[in-house]
Amino acid sequence: MGFIKHTFERLLPRFAYRALVAPYHLLFSFLAASKYGFPARKLKVIAVTGTKGKSSVTEMIAAILEGAGHRVALSSTIHFRINGKSVPNLYKMTLPGKGFIQKFLRDAVAEGCDFAVIEVSSEAAVQYRHLFLSLNALVFTNLAKEHLESHGGMENYFKAKLRIGRELERSAKRPRAIIGNADDEYGKRFLKLRVENRIPFSLQDATDIAATEKGVSFTYDRVSIGLPHPGTFSVLNALAAIKAAAFFNVDTKTSAAALHALTKIAGRAERIECGQDFTAVVDYAHTPDSLQALYDAFPGRKICVLGNTGGGRDTWKRPAMGRIASEACDEVILTDEDPYDEDPRAIVEAMAAGMEKKPLIIMDRREAIATALSHAKKGDSVLISGKGTDPYIMKANGGKLRWSDADVVREELGKLGHGA
């Protein structure tokens, strides 16, 4: 069956393949929900979607709800957690298929959860995995250029995301809410969904914003809020989470306390601390916008390690991200990321084509990270981007190498005498 599916996927245009398998995905979603007793109906369900920030917002909402005394299930690109028991997401996809989410929600009900917070991607929506989630609320973070080859342009990408909004409109639960980014042109369109509550969030909602490489602080609803996460993008993420929680009657002070206690989100501007006198960060930044935001969050001398994804995915990003790294970083090391069936060297050379300063190219990702760490001096920032918590490096012919940027950083810092 897998061979037949792979063959059709390779031979047919993507739009034709998707049309062919759509009835299968739709039927499977219904059968899975039916098999597990439509568990989403027994929970308050919050979906989070967008291009950037959705994993962080999902984590923030869950932390706030738990801080308010609720029992929460969380499904994200990073991990799956029910009542504090967490397992890593090793599926290499945000929302796994084959009925995973319905079984997950059934388990959440069995564990006595009253909330589920679910990160939902456009690819999941195209394959109807978002159906039968019985949404109470949807958070839309933003939309930036990504998956354009897959969807066939920005408008189609938006329409794929909007499928999740239509699921909110179809939900029988009342009241429902869309929490949307009013600073984003696509967020404004999401805020037109036909639901009882349309709740915008904007950077203008916050005052007294102060940002350093160690975190941000701001004031909202006359409450001072401090986050141990860098970048003004963290302010927007926090506002989305605070407003989503407020819809469920969680006050701002409770939200502020929970966010202050959320010291780490794995693979999202994650600091690796082993006693070294420089900063080492692992981040998922995989679009030009998110890469620029990461670099802006860390002033001073930067040594940057990055690559790009193969498989024909968003090839336009390669020179663009190379240019951003060239302009923002003092040293740039280009390396392997997820080549799939493409020539890994050709991918990084396409990135180098967008750079004014010549990068160092080290195809072995561990060696690239080790070199960056060995070059760091006191006060420097070593920023390793592109994979975050991705559990594998994807190779040709379906091959994959088990991987963790964070673990490799710790191991290589140990070899340099840190953390011993």
Q: Which residues pair with residue 414 across a beta bridge?
A: none
Element (H, E) at 216: strand 215-220
What residue ranges define each of the domains in the chain, with the CATH number in brackets? 2-261 (3.40.1190.10), 270-415 (3.90.190.20)
320 token code pair: 């663009």
Q: For residues 131 and 97, give the distance between their C-alpha atoms in angstroms, rounded to a whole number.
A: 12
pLDDT for the residue numbered 1: 46
DSSP SS3 for 420: coil
DSSP for 358-383, written as a single string: PPEE--SHHHHHHHHHHH--TT-EEE
- Predicted local confidence at residue 16, as pLDDT: 61
Q: What is the CA radius of gyration of the chain?
A: 21
Coil, helix or strand at residue 341: coil
Gap between the Cα atoms of 297 and 291, Å rounded: 10
| pLDDT reported for residue 259 | 98
Give the separation between CA 123 and CA 398, rounded to whole angstroms. Answer: 19
Residue by residue, DSSP assigns 63-74 as HHHHHTT--EEE
3-class state of residue 10 by DSSP: helix
| pLDDT value of position 286 | 92
**Could you state, in chain order, the average pLDDT of each consecutive group of 10 residues for the chain (420 residues)?**
54 62 84 97 98 97 98 98 96 92 98 98 93 98 84 90 98 98 98 98 98 95 96 97 98 98 95 97 96 96 97 91 98 97 97 95 98 98 97 95 98 91
Phi, psi of 254 (to 5 degrees): -65, -40
Q: How far is CA 344 from the centre of its chain?
A: 24
Q: Residues 394, 338: contact at Cβ < 8 Å?
A: yes
Provide the 8-state DSSP code for 153: S
Cis peptide before 228 (omega within 30 of 0): no
Q: pTM score > 0.85 for this model?
A: yes
Residue 379 backbone zone (phi > 0: left; psi -120 to 50: alpha; other: beta): left
Contact 217, 210 (CB under 8 A): yes
pLDDT of residue 24: 76
Locate 374 and state its tokens: 């060995």
DSSP for 120-146 reads: --HHHHHTTTTTT---SEEEE----S-
Neighbours of 48 (CB within 10 A): 30
